[in-house]
């Protein structure tokens, strides 16, 4: 096995030399009620890169992110943070962000800014997530997508060395989803270690530097999108996913009929095209 192959099997970014690693997991294992979610996961999360974790519903992506963040204790194995010693080493965008509904957008950002030991340019931050015009609107009056954009702002606020985003594109229209990925990729380019769990494979393929595919038991494959596409002789990341993932993996009851392969916002791009075509023909195929 070459060094690169060995690195790949460990879920390490092969396009980094290892010196940029900011979070390392070794033998990371999580069980709930004696049922393994993942076992023996070895990852090196690099700063200055976006690492995307993909896999079916219920496979353990959120649990893995929460374990990296220290919100969930592993059953076995370790998570080691080696980044700078700051008050807030890791930002987090949870799958279901909760904010005080009576706060305005500005007040929400100011509240979180008061908790971090760093100057926060609220105007720039809101501009980045396209919420400038909504700055005086109460959280209770925001759409679901706007709330997610606010959650993105909250996660990267104060420029933590690591940010873990659970389905950052969920509920966003295609151009905002792209904008959020672009913005996170920009943060990565500025040196942040960005970890996203996502079902939006086209954006992952475009913006992620490193992809970790989770399947029952742990990491099924990992590498840059280009490496994975070459390795599996695939047309795109969706094809890689289709090859690597057992359609019955995950524990969502919808998985068995293929629904778990859909994106955050419903069907994957490919399924949308197929169903649009069906709709165009009045459902006649
Ligand atoms: N606190 C908990 N107690 C018991 N089981 C849990 C707990 N949290 C998660 N699980 C289980 O762990 C498994 C992985 O859940 P997780 O939310 O990490 O999956 P996921 O890959 O993020 O799914 P999705 O794509 O649907 O968000 C699921 O079977 C889930 O029911």
What per-residue confidence (pLDDT) applies to 115? 87
Number of domains within the chain: 1
* Cα–Cα distance, 16 to 12 (Å, whole number): 8
ipTM over 0.95: yes
Residue 195, domain CATH: 3.40.50.300
Does 148 fall in a domain?
Answer: no
Does 213 fall in a domain?
Answer: yes
* Cα–Cα distance, 31 to 50 (Å, whole number): 27
Identify which has the larger pLDDT, 28 or 17.
28
Structural domain including 54 reads 3-84+191-280
CB 157 within 8 A of CB 116: yes
Tokens of 51: 């690492």
pLDDT digits (tens, 9 = 90+) for 163-213: 999 999 988 899 889 989 998 999 999 999 999 999 999 999 999 999 999
| Residue 42: count of CB within 10 angstroms of its CB | 18
Please say whether the dihedral angle defined by the alpha carbons of residues 60, 62, 66 and 71, taken in this order, is positive or negative: negative
Q: Is 272 in the pocket of ligand 1 (CB under 6 A)?
A: no
Please report which helix (H) or strand (E) contains residue 9, including its range. helix 3-9
pLDDT digits (tens, 9 = 90+) for 84-100: 998 899 999 998 888 99
Does 273 fall in a domain?
Answer: yes
pTM score, two decimals?
Answer: 0.83
Q: Is 62 in the pocket of ligand 1 (CB under 6 A)?
A: yes
Does 11 fall in a domain?
Answer: yes
Of 30, 41, 61, the one to substitute when testing ligand 1's pocket (max ligand atoms within 8 A of C-beta) is 61
CA of 250 to the centre of ligand 1 (A): 9
CA of 59 to the centre of ligand 1 (A): 7
Q: Is 251 in the pocket of ligand 1 (CB under 6 A)?
A: yes
What's the pLDDT band for 19 if we cut at 50, 70, 90? low
Per-residue pLDDT at 271 exceeds 50: no
Nearest to 227 by CA among 13, 3, 6, 49: 13
Does 257 fall in a domain?
Answer: yes
Does 99 fall in a domain?
Answer: no
Does 132 fall in a domain?
Answer: no
Does 93 fall in a domain?
Answer: no
């Amino acid at each position: 096995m070459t060094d690169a192959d060995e690195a790949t099997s460990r879920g390490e970014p092969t396009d980094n030399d290892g010196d940029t690693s900011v979070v390392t997991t070794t033998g990371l294992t999580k069980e709930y009620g004696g049922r393994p979610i993942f076992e023996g996961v070895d990852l090196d999360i690099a700063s200055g890169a976006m690492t995307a974790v993909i896999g079916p519903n219920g496979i353990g992506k959120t649990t893995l992110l929460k374990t990296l963040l220290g919100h969930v204790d592993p059953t076995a194995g370790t998570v080691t943070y080696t980044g700078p010693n700051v008050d807030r080493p890791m930002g987090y965008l949870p799958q279901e962000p909760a904010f005080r509904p009576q706060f305005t957008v500005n007040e929400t950002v100011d509240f979180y800014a008061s908790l971090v030991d760093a100057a926060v340019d609220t105007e720039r931050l809101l501009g980045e997530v396209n919420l400038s015009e909504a700055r005086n609107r109460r959280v209770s009056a925001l759409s679901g997508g706007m709330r997610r954009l606010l959650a993105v702002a909250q996660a990267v606020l104060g420029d933590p060395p690591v940010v873990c985003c659970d389905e950052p594109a969920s509920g966003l229209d295609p151009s905002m989803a792209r904008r959020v990925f672009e913005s996170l990729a920009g943060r990565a380019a500025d040196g942040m270690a960005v970890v996203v769990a996502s079902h939006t494979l086209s954006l992952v393929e475009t913006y992620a530097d490193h992809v970790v595919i989770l399947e029952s038991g742990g990491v099924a494959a990992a590498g840059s999108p280009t490496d994975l596409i070459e390795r599996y002789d695939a047309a795109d990341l969706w094809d890689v996913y289709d090859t690597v993932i057992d359609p019955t993996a995950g524990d969502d009851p919808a998985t068995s009929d293929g629904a778990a392969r859909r994106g955050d916002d419903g069907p994957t791009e490919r399924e949308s095209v197929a169903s649009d075509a069906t709709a165009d023909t009045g459902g006649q195929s």
